[in-house]
């Protein structure tokens, strides 16, 4: 392999070549991915990652998604988490490592489109804390097939591109704007459009068919379609505080764009622009501004920034922006560390593990599903977190009654009230409450009196850890 100067590599003038060069590029992207996601290993899983890991363990135990293990996302991430749960040892480190490898592989694919330097910056943008919060999110997994779809479409392999796009959608619906990019790439070629549509239809049809054969399609439609409709109709103002994360995460790639302004866009550039515009429209329609939505956007932004690093001023600007992003990302992670759900979940999980048997089930009231992973105990009932039970329009008194009947038939050994740590409720008013008004996107419906009455009759408060109140079952 010919020696390459660091300056040439930074400016995008040269890349490693040959088999050894390919290995070097892989290792570089893997190192970047690991560095960006390391807070997840140090602090534990954030809210969504804990939920997906818990569902993965439930699948390994033979439970079915949506029916036995409720969540409102497409099923792809559950399968990755289930594969992680099959490995020896705790689930979260394996699931986290899957995120690292997946993100690095996304960079490998992007390198074929934009070169190693921009692919590395895109990996950092997708992986740093404000967006990925340590890994395990659906958009992290959707990014790889989305990048594959874009690459294959650029090479006119339309059926394969459609298959990859369908796979991206099976991980995250935030990948939907990719379809607009594929349409732009196809142009006015009916065969290309038909091939892409065929590929997407094969994957989506297969997912729907498997769910139908398993007898859980109605449950999946209820969770992914019905619930999400009510979720999007709920209060949206609480999400606006996260808007500044977008600017932080997109800063390095955005810094390159002024240096390519005025350049005549080729079809790939036009498709990337359409992807970004479609994403902005989708976010506006959802009224949600969660930072992880930005993860797939690093792909089209990197495409638009192609060639910029060949200009020294652009390279310097992008380099400084990347350093700034890294600094802000780790500063945010450090600020979150004292109250990070994963860290506290590990403490609560250790206590629960010491006080219960491996066959016992527990119930975590709130969204700290990582406690299930830390405790290595199965959830009681089909809801590993409380949001479906407190969403306006979705939760009903009969739904709560049915859920409590199930708890009464097979009571959890321990109940952890994680919502008590919110600090919103008064000391005497924080007993198994919904999320506080204005939090959790307005999912704060309170139909929970039957649940509270049942807990009062069967449980006693035994301890409190970092604000999480723990109740144990009182045998009659």
Boundaries of domain holding 403: 340-473
In a domain, residue 273? The reply is: yes
Q: What is the mean pLDDT of residues 129-150?
A: 93
What pTM, to 2 d.p., does this model score?
0.91
> Do 376 and 280 lie in a common domain?
no
> Do 330 and 376 lie in a common domain?
no
Rounded to the nearest integer, the mean pLDDT of the chain is: 89
* pLDDT computed for residue 312 by the predictor: 86
> Do 323 and 443 lie in a common domain?
no
> Do 149 and 209 lie in a common domain?
yes
> Do 129 and 238 lie in a common domain?
yes
Q: pLDDT for 313-327, tens place per residue?
A: 888 888 888 888 888
- Give me the residues paired with residue 465 across strands: 468
* pLDDT computed for residue 237 by the predictor: 52
Rounded distance between C-alpha atoms, residue 368 and residue 345, angstroms:
7
9 pLDDT exceeds 80?
no
Q: Give the residue from 293, 274, 332 showing the smallest Cα distance to 139.
A: 293
In a domain, residue 1? The reply is: no
Q: How many domains does the chain have?
A: 2
Rounded distance between C-alpha atoms, residue 195 and residue 199, angstroms:
6
The answer to whether residues 150 and 299 touch, using CB atoms and an 8 Å cutoff, is: yes
Q: Give the residue from 291, 321, 297, 295 showing the smallest Cα distance to 308.
A: 321
In a domain, residue 75? The reply is: yes
Q: What percent of the chain has pLDDT over 70?
A: 91
In a domain, residue 68? The reply is: yes
Edge-to-edge, what's the strand order for the sheet holding 459-465?
378-379, 361-365, 414-417, 468-473, 459-465
In a domain, residue 188? The reply is: yes
The answer to whether residues 307 and 230 touch, using CB atoms and an 8 Å cutoff, is: no
**Quick one: CA dihedral 294, 33, 143, 387, positive or negative?**
negative
**187: number of Cβ within 10 Å:** 11
197 pLDDT exceeds 60?
yes
Q: What is the mean pLDDT of residues 426-438?
A: 75
* pLDDT computed for residue 421 by the predictor: 78
Last residue of a domain, one of 291, 315, 336: 336
> Do 184 and 327 lie in a common domain?
yes
> Do 229 and 295 lie in a common domain?
yes
* pLDDT computed for residue 242 by the predictor: 60
Q: pLDDT for 20-78, tens place per residue?
A: 878 888 999 999 999 999 999 988 898 899 999 999 999 999 999 999 999 999 999 99
Rounded distance between C-alpha atoms, residue 471 and residue 462, angstroms:
6
> Do 255 and 331 lie in a common domain?
yes
> Do 361 and 409 lie in a common domain?
yes
> Do 14 and 147 lie in a common domain?
yes
Last residue of a domain, one of 336, 358, 379: 336
Q: What is the mean pLDDT of residues 408-421?
A: 93
In total, the chain counts a number of residues equal to 476
> Do 308 and 193 lie in a common domain?
yes
Residue spans of alpha helices (H) in 187-311: 190-213, 217-221, 228-233, 243-256, 267-286, 298-304
Exposure string over 315-327, b if 16+ CB within 10 A, otherwise e = bebbbebbeebbe
Rounded distance between C-alpha atoms, residue 399 and residue 402, angstroms:
5
* pLDDT computed for residue 8 by the predictor: 45
Rounded distance between C-alpha atoms, residue 145 and residue 80, angstroms:
14
Q: pLDDT for 244-297, tens place per residue?
A: 666 677 788 888 888 887 667 789 999 999 999 999 898 888 877 778 888 999
3 pLDDT exceeds 60?
no
Last residue of a domain, one of 280, 309, 336: 336
> Do 240 and 145 lie in a common domain?
yes
Q: What is the mean pLDDT of residues 125-144?
A: 92
């Amino acid at each position: 392999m010919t020696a390459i100067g660091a300056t040439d590599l930074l400016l995008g003038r040269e890349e490693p070549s040959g088999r050894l060069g390919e290995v070097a590029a892989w290792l570089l992207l893997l190192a970047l991915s690991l560095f960006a996601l390391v807070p997840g290993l140090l602090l534990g899983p954030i809210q969504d990652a804990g939920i997906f890991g818990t569902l993965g363990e439930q699948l390994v135990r033979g439970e079915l998604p949506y029916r036995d293990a409720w969540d409102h996302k497409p099923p792809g991430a559950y399968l990755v988490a289930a594969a992680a749960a099959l490995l020896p040892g705790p689930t979260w480190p394996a699931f986290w490592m899957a995120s690292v490898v997946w993100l690095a592989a996304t960079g490998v694919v992007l390198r074929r489109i934009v070169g190693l330097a921009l692919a590395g910056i895109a990996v950092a943008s997708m992986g740093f804390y404000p967006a990925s919060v340590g890994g395990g999110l659906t958009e992290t997994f959707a990014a790889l097939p989305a990048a594959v779809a874009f690459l294959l479409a650029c090479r006119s392999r339309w059926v394969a591109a459609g298959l990859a796009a369908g796979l991206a959608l099976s991980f995250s619906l935030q990948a939907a704007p990719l379809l607009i990019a594929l349409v732009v790439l196809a142009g006015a070629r009916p065969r290309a459009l038909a091939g892409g549509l065929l590929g997407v239809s094969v994957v989506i049809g297969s997912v729907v068919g498997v769910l139908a054969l398993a007898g859980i399609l109605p449950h999946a439609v209820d969770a992914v379609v019905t619930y999400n409709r009510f979720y999007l109709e709920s209060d949206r103002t609480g999400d606006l505080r996260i808007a500044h994360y977008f600017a932080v995460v997109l800063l390095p790639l955005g810094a390159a764009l002024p240096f390519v302004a005025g350049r005549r866009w080729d079809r790939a550039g036009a498709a990337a622009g359409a992807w970004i515009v479609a994403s902005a429209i989708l976010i506006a329609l959802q009224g949600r501004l969660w930072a992880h939505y930005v993860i797939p956007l690093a792909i089209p932004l990197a495409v638009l920034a192609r060639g910029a690093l060949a200009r020294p001023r652009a390279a310097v600007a992008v380099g400084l922006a990347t350093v700034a992003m890294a600094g802000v990302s780790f500063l945010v992670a450090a600020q979150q560390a004292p109250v990070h759900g994963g860290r506290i979940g590990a403490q609560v999980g250790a206590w629960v593990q010491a006080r219960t048997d491996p066959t016992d089930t527990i119930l975590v009231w709130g969204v700290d599903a990582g406690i299930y992973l830390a405790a290595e105990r199965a959830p009681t009932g089909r809801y590993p977190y409380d949001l479906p039970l407190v969403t306006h329009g979705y939760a009903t008194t009969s739904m709560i009654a049915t859920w409590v009947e199930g708890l009464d038939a097979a009571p959890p050994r321990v109940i952890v009230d994680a919502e008590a740590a919110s600090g919103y409720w008064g000391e005497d008013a924080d007993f198994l409450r919904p999320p506080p008004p204005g939090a959790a996107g307005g999912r704060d419906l309170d139909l929970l009196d039957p649940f509270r009455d049942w807990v009062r009759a069967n449980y006693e408060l035994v301890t409190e850890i970092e604000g999480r109140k723990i109740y144990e079952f009182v045998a009659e």
